[in-house]
Amino acid sequence: MRINSLQLFQFRNYQSIDIELNPEIVVLYGTNGAGKTNILESIYVGTIGKSHRTNDTSDMLMFNANESGIVVNFEKKDTPQKVNIKLFRQGSKDIRLNDMKISQKELIGTLNTVIFCPEDLQLIKGSPSGRRRFLDMEISQTSATYYHQLLQYNRLLQQRNTLLKEYRGKQNIPLDEWDIQLADMASFLVKKRLESLKKINLLIDLMNRKLTGGLENLTIGYEQTYGEEGNIIYKKEDFYDLLKQNLPQDRHRLTTSVGPHRDDLRFFSDAIDLKKFGSQGQQRTAVLSLKLSELEFIKSEVGEYPVLLLDDVLSELDELRRTNLLQFIHKRIQTVITTTDIHDFKNLPGVQFIHCQEGRIQYG
Ligand SMILES: Nc1ncnc2c1ncn2[C@@H]1O[C@H](COP(=O)(O)OP(=O)(O)OP(=O)(O)O)[C@@H](O)[C@H]1O
Ligand SMILES: [Mg+2]
């Protein structure tokens, strides 16, 4: 996967720019607030149709503009492709692939990227929803069916929760239809997550051994807060039974307590739970290994490496981890890096420098 050029129109602080990207490492540099992350964000919008940092489409439109445009020209397995996205003030979008209108669902999996930003360093310590989102988006980029089912599942779940509220204090709540469908989708999602996690586990351990010099063994476990301990629920019959069993509690709490929307991931280094007992450095290495395994996972599913977007994370990593990361991507993965300090990249071969300043860009 390789991005050749990117055009932005009234996107964030860019009125109109056209950037040619070299196939190896692109370093976007400039002062704080210059617009470096805005460029990575636009590429990410080209990947999944929405931003990694806001749910509100209109935030991305230049102040006072009514529409905004992103065009990404890229090559997938040497075939040139073009994604063209228009964003409108009221929140709607027009997405085109090679000039044909497509839905956001159809866009996912077309341009593959992996983004790594400072907030990701909180992945292990942070909330379960961040870890679920991580896993869901990783699988979605390689399986359109998974993303489709996930959207359906979330829609049904919302409807079920609405019914729980509507029937508050009343008898005979008509949930059976919902529970049959929810159990079916829950089973599909959890099976796919477990299957993907098996692959990711092989890859993450490999990456972690590279980063730590083969010292630590890193694994990711799948966790559920329902069912019996040590026993992962994945069959639709079991989900259905549990939804029924937990109904009194769900009716009391007005929310659904069973299903993949409640599941979590847990990271272990030599059987030590990293969230609870890992040092800051161990947690960072684990996240870095996770991101590298994501690159390998997408490669194994899609057949080539995605483009890597690194938002200011290198400054957060120590010398050794930074060197390991740069060695890993060198000549293998097209990478767009943002930084305020180009010092670290001066001696790297194959680097293209782009200076971002007040909504303009300048090469060199
Ligand atoms: N919708 C918008 N319209 C116009 N300008 C915007 C919009 N949204 C953000 N900006 C501007 O973009 C700039 C922030 O851009 P960005 O987050 O890319 O900065 P950055 O170069 O990554 O900075 P840092 O080094 O601090 O991370 C701010 O100056 C902000 O005012
Ligand atoms: Mg930034």
Residue pLDDT, tens place only, 76-106: 999 999 999 999 999 999 999 999 999 999 9
Task: Give pLDDT tens digits for 103-131.
Answer: 999 999 999 999 999 888 889 999 999 99
Whole-number pLDDT of residue 306: 97
Mutate-to-test residue for ligand 1 from 6, 13, 15, 355, highest number of ligand atoms within 8 A of CB: 13
Ligand 1 neighbours, Cβ below 6 Å, are 12-13, 30, 32-38, 59, 61-63, 312, 338, 340
For residue 66, give both structure tokens.
Answer: 């009514």
**Does 51 score more than 90 pLDDT?**
yes
48-77 burial, b for 16+ CB within 10 Å, e for fewer? Answer: bbbbbbeeebeebbbeebeebbbbbbbeee
Ligand 1 atom closest to residue 356's alpha carbon, by position in its atom list = 21
Whole-number pLDDT of residue 215: 81
Residue nearest to atom 27 of ligand 1 (CA): 32
Whole-number pLDDT of residue 50: 93
Mutate-to-test residue for ligand 1 from 10, 19, 29, 36, highest number of ligand atoms within 8 A of CB: 36
Question: In which band, very low, low, confident or very high, does the pLDDT at 315 lie, cut at 50, 70 and 90?
Answer: confident
Mean pLDDT is lowest, of 73-77, 197-201, 325-329, for 325-329
Whole-number pLDDT of residue 56: 96
- Pairing, β 25-29 against β 272-273: unpaired
Residue nearest to atom 2 of ligand 1 (CA): 12
Mutate-to-test residue for ligand 1 from 29, 32, 37, highest number of ligand atoms within 8 A of CB: 37
Q: How many angstroms is it from 102 CA to the middle of ligand 2?
A: 30
Residue nearest to atom 11 of ligand 1 (CA): 13
- Range from 192-201, 210-219, 344-353 that averages highest in pLDDT: 192-201
Q: How many angstroms is it from 217 CA to the middle of ligand 1?
A: 40
Q: How many angstroms is it from 37 CA to the middle of ligand 2?
A: 4
151-185 burial, b for 16+ CB within 10 Å, e for fewer? Answer: ebbeebbeebbeebeeeeeeeebebeebbebbbbb
Protein residues near ligand 2, an ion, with CB under 5 A: 37
Q: How many angstroms is it from 328 CA to the middle of ligand 1?
A: 30
Rounded to whole angstroms, how far apart are CA atoms 315 and 291? 16
**What's the whole-number mean pLDDT along residues 310-336?**
87
Residue nearest to atom 26 of ligand 1 (CA): 32
End-to-end CA gap in the chain = 24
Tokens 């979008």 locate to: 93
